[in-house]
């Protein structure tokens, strides 16, 4: 619904990512490398995005770098999107996240380990995370959303420092959980929802995602119940 196919297609098989979920809750990831992306295809994608991006409010750049695509290319893409006046939400890891941070996206959503790896520094404590977030704010990154799985989410902005804790649920699949959290955060922010509501709803959407095989908000009543089970507190209280 309201989606337009603007893909740049490349030769090769579509990348396969497989998650093995055990009754104990342990998840094993089997991520395929995907096809090699040529320089010509990268140029075509850059030009396509540059052509269609104007007029949108937010663009989400998510996932790992395909083979053949450099962190420098990603940085150039993010800068181009910012220059077009878009808010850029980045959800990546490794060298892609490291390169992305230097472009100053509007929002980032790493987990604790991914952010620590990108910064070459441990950030376990709340104080360490707050210090890192304050430094990233000075680089133009307005929202630092740190996912901590079942331990919840830490969200830092120049005016917000909140922690959300999701309700306990039975995990069916973790596929799409991080994407769901990010989508909920972006929706709440661009809709100008109150910060606690934004984080509560985003956390509930992510919790709902792990309870099902597949995607989407399939039961509005269940989402409402999950929202009621999310605890949101100021990080200054912890």
**CA 224, CA 212: separation in Å to the nearest integer?**
16
Q: Quick count: other Cβ atoms within 10 Å of Cβ 4?
A: 6
Q: Which of these is catalytic: 5, 83, 120, 179?
A: 179
**Contact at 8 Å (CB) between 145 and 105?**
no
β-bridge mates for residue 27, sequence order: 21
CA angle 111, 112, 114 (to 5 degrees): 65
Helix (H) or strand (E) holding 45, with range, is helix 39-52
Return d(Cα 88, Cα 78) in angstroms, integer.
Answer: 7
Which residues on neighbouring strands pair with residue 144, listed in sequence order? Answer: 108, 156
Burial profile 49-79: b = 16 or more Cβ within 10 angstroms, e = fewer: beeeeeeeeebbbeebbbeebebebbbebbe
The candidate with the shortest Cα–Cα distance to 208, out of 226, 184, 231, 230, is 226
Concatenate the DSSP letters of all residues of 168-193 into one string. P---S--TTHHHHHHHHHHHHHHTT-
What is the C-alpha to C-alpha distance for residues 159 and 19, in angstroms, rounded to an integer? 37
Active site residue 179: yes
Q: Catalytic residue positions?
A: 179
């Amino acid at each position: 619904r309201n989606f337009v196919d603007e893909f740049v297609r490349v030769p090769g098989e579509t990348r396969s990512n497989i998650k093995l979920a055990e009754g104990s809750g342990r998840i094993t990831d089997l991520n395929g490398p995907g096809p090699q992306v040529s320089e010509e295809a990268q140029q075509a994608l850059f030009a396509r995005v540059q052509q269609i991006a104007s007029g949108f409010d937010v663009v989400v750049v998510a996932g790992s770098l395909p083979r053949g695509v450099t962190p420098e290319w990603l940085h150039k893409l993010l800068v181009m999107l910012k220059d077009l006046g878009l808010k850029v939400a980045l959800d990546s890891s490794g060298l892609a996240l490291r390169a992305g941070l230097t472009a100053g996206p509007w929002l980032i959503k790493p987990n604790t380990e991914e952010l620590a790896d990108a910064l070459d520094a441990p950030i376990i404590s709340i104080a360490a995370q707050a210090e890192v977030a304050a430094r990233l704010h000075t680089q133009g990154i307005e929202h630092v959303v740190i996912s901590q799985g079942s331990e919840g989410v830490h969200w830092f902005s120049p005016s917000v420092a909140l922690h959300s804790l999701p309700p306990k649920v039975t995990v069916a699949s973790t596929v799409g959980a991080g994407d769901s959290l990010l989508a909920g955060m972006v929706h709440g922010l661009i809709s100008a929802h109150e910060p606690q509501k934004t984080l509560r709803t985003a956390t509930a959407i992510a919790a709902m995602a792990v309870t099902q095989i597949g995607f989407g908000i399939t039961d509005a009543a269940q989402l409402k119940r999950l929202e009621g089970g999310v605890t949101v507190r100021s990080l200054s209280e912890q």
